[in-house]
A and B are shown apart, each in its own frame.
Chain A
Amino acid sequence: MEFLLQPWPWYVAGPIIAFVMFLLLYFGGRFGFSSNLRTMCTIAGAGKYADFFKFDWKSQRWNLVFVLGAILGGLIAAQFLMPQETLDLNPTTISALQELGFQDAGQQYLPNEIFGTTALSSTKGLFILIFGGFLVGFGTRYAGGCTSGHAISGLSNLQVPSLIAVIGFFIGGLIMTHLILPIIF
């Protein structure tokens, strides 16, 4: 049991994620999260505005149930498997964050400077969260997949388009981390 309460290393996480992908394929689904965002738009009535949202969303119910499970998994882990939440980050990463003004880097999972109540009550803070999410939603649909759909499912199936998408993920991630975040913070 002690092992369950410690942070899980990559060589435990990787095989479990691969197993989850196997289960979804075996159950007749696929491993890809971002398509659920499209399904949710369809349920909310987006089909009135664009044909892209006109599809039989009920065929995707299994994936929505998978999302519900993921939410429950987060809840279960938070309630029973997290005696402490500090991250063992690289000290270089921590000092880089301190230079940006992030005070308690690695003390909890998300930085207060982006997700805390002070950030939420400022226009800039709200804009960062909405805009960050917007790019995720827009970019994943444009690219036809996210980390699960391209980086994991697509690369596992040796898809060249997924490799191109993953190169894109890194171009964007490196630009944000090294060039834009230092301007915002």
Chain B
Amino acid sequence: MKYIKFLLAGILFGIVMTKAEIISWFRIYEMFRFESFHMYGVIGSTVILGVIMIQVMKRTQMKNISGGEINFKPKDKSIIRYLLGGTLFGLGWSLSGACPGPMFVLVGYGYLSILIVILGALLGTFTYGVLKDKLPH
């Protein structure tokens, strides 16, 4: 039962990704051509609200549902891994039109060829895990 709330949050996420067209390859292509405000509006308004929300949560020392600390894990300091890894992800995102959230929403939507992209993403994750110690971080 403790998982049902995560299921409901996921359903809400899947519906909004679909209805706001964020799962569409075309919207990503249009974004990288700077020919629509839509995606910038989505990400920008989420981040602005997110910044305010997290500041409020931190300042009021809000606790999570089970009374514990809320998990704001800071990212490790580095430049190279974020820049290189980010660039590789950006290449893949704009080619396949799907980041790791939307690719699963698309499965539910019924575009089954996205399963090949997911298979590729699992292979990519596996390859990173194997090569991790040889890469600059």
Q: Are B26 and A46 interface neighbours, CB within 8 A?
A: no
Q: What's the A-B contact tally at a CB cutoff of 8 Å? A: 503
Q: Are A130 and B104 interface neighbours, CB within 8 A?
A: no
Q: Are B92 and A133 interface neighbours, CB within 8 A?
A: yes
Q: Are B108 and A74 interface neighbours, CB within 8 A?
A: yes
Bound CA span A96–B26, Å? 11
Q: Which of A4, A109, A160 contacts B21 (CB 8 A)?
A: A109
Within 8 A of B (CB), among A31-71: 33-34, 36-38, 40-41, 44, 46, 49-50, 52-53, 61-63, 65-71
When distances are taken between beta carbons in the complex, the residues of chain A under 8 Å from B71 are 25, 28-30
A27 and B116 in contact, given A65-B3, A168-B82 (Cβ under 8 angstroms): no
A155 and B120 in contact, given A46-B126, A129-B113, A161-B77 (Cβ under 8 angstroms): no
Chain B, interface residues (CB within 8 Å), range: 35 or more
Bound CA span A97–B35, Å? 13
Bound CA span A73–B64, Å? 25
When distances are taken between beta carbons in the complex, the residues of chain B under 8 Å from A40 are 122, 125
Within 8 A of B (CB), among A3-25: 4, 7-25
Q: Are B89 and A172 interface neighbours, CB within 8 A?
A: yes
Bound CA span A177–B124, Å? 21
Query: Which residues of A does B touch, CB under 8 Å?
Result: 4, 7-30, 33-34, 36-38, 40-41, 44, 46, 49-50, 52-53, 61-63, 65-78, 81-82, 87, 89-90, 92-93, 96-97, 105-106, 109-111, 114-116, 119-120, 126, 128-148, 150-162, 164-178, 180-181
Jot down 22 A-B pairs with beta carbons below 8 A, ordered by A.
A9-B38, A12-B20, A16-B12, A23-B9, A26-B65, A37-B125, A61-B3, A66-B13, A90-B36, A92-B35, A93-B35, A110-B114, A134-B120, A138-B89, A139-B88, A141-B128, A150-B75, A152-B47, A156-B46, A160-B77, A165-B82, A168-B83
In order of increasing CB-CB distance, the 9 nearest A-B pairs are A73-B14, A69-B10, A168-B86, A172-B90, A133-B120, A137-B124, A135-B92, A156-B50, A14-B45
Q: Could you list 9 further interchain pairs (A-B, Cβ under 8 angstroms) beyond the known A33-B104, A132-B120, A175-B91?
A: A7-B19, A8-B16, A10-B20, A10-B41, A14-B45, A18-B50, A65-B3, A120-B113, A176-B90
Query: Which residues of B does A touch, CB under 8 Å?
Result: 3, 5-33, 35-51, 53-54, 57, 62, 64-66, 68, 70-79, 81-101, 103-111, 113-114, 116-130, 132, 135
